[in-house]
A = this chain, B = another copy of it.
C-alpha cells in the first residue's frame, strides 16, 4: 500500500513525492525498503503496489523493474478497505486460492529476519484457521498516535503468540494510553495483515459490500469504469470496515522493532549512525553549542548556534525549523500553504 499522501515530512515530502517515495529512514525509499525487507519471503515479481493514479509515475521512477501489471493504480484514494479490496480481487483472479500479506509502504522495521519469521507465522495461522491475521506490536511507550489491540485469552493448546482479538481500541488519549500499556497484554495495531485473498474478500463482501461490489464490477473494464466505481464507494479503513466486525480476526504478537515514522521527531532512533556530537544529522551540519536537534540537509550547510531540540530540514525551495516536540504540527505548514495558494511549495 503506497497510496498515502502524508504532510508531516514537508518540506522533504511534497504532494507528488510523499514519504513512501523518499529515503526518510534509510538510503532507499521507504517503498523499496518495504519490498526489499520481504524479498526472501515474497519475490519482487509477486509484489503488487497499490497507489493513486497521480502517484503512478513516482512508483515507476522508484521501482523501474516493477512489472506494469503489478502496479495497481487507484483513480484516487478511498482509504485502506478499497485498496485492499482491489489488490485481493486482482490477486484472486490471477492466482485463485493465493494468500497475501498487506504492508504499508511507509513504516520502519528493524530485525528483518525476525520480521519475516513473524510474517511466516501469521501466514500459517491465516491459512490453517482461514483467519484474517493482524500483527500486534508490544508497546514500548504510551503512544497516542496508534490504535491498540486487546487479544482474547490465548486458546489453550495453541501457539502462545497467537490469539483471537477481544477488541480494537482507537487512538487513545494520554491517560487511556498509559492504562492500556499498564494492562501488559495490549498491543499496537500496526496495520500489517496476512490472509488468504478469498477470505478477506468474503469478509469485505459481508461487512463493506458498498466498497468491494463496485470495484469488482468495474475490474477489467478500463480506467473510466474503475474511476466511476471509486466515485461511488465510501472511504473507510480496513480496521473500521472489516477488522472490528469480523469474527475471523486473529492477532500474532510480533517481536520486531517497528515505527510508523509519523513525524521528523520519529526518525531519530533510525539515524543512530548519523549522530554528530549531540545532534542527529543527515547531510551537512555545523552545530555550535547545540543539542538534541534533528537535521536533514543533503545539499546545503546548516549551521546551528545555541539551539536545542529543533528539527531543521532543508529541501529544494524551502527550509523547515520546528520545535521537535511540535513535529506533528508540520502539517499546519502544509495547511497554511494551501490556504494561501502557495502551491509551488506543496
Name A's B-contacting residues (CB within 8 A): 10-11, 286, 288-289, 297, 299-307, 310, 312, 314, 317-323, 325-326, 329-330, 332-333, 336-337, 342, 345
Contacts and interface: CB of A to CB of B under 8 A. Distances in A.
Contact of A300 (B286, B304, B317): B317
Contact of A321 (B289, B305, B325, B333): B305
Contacts of A321: 302-305, 307, 310, 312, 321
Contacts of A326: 289, 305-306
Contact of A310 (B307, B325, B345): B307
Main secondary structure, interface of A, reads strand
Contacts of A329: 288-289, 305-306
B345 A319 contact: no
A225 to B, nearest CB: 41
Contact of A303 (B288, B289, B318): B318
The listed residue with most B CB atoms (<10 A of its CB), out of A300, A310, A319, A333, is: A319
B319 A314 contact: yes
The oligomer's copy count stands at: 2
Contacts of A333: 286, 288, 303, 305
Nearest to A336: B286
Contact of A319 (B303, B317, B323, B332): B303
A322 B304 CA distance: 6
B323 A312 contact: no
B301 A318 contact: yes
A337 B10 CA distance: 29
A307 B306 CA distance: 13
Contacts of A345: 301
A286 B337 contact: yes
A153 B297 CA distance: 59
Contacts of A312: 319, 321
Nearest to A333: B303
- The 4 A-B pairs at the shortest CB distance, nearest first, are namely A306-B326, A306-B323, A305-B322, A301-B318
Contacts of A297: 319
Contacts of A11: 301, 303
A292 to B, nearest CB: 13
Contacts of A302: 318-319, 321
A342 B300 CA distance: 13
Nearest to A308: B323
A306 B319 contact: no
B289 A305 contact: no
Given A288-B332, A289-B329, A329-B288, A323 B307 contact: yes
A296 B310 CA distance: 19
A32 B98 CA distance: 76
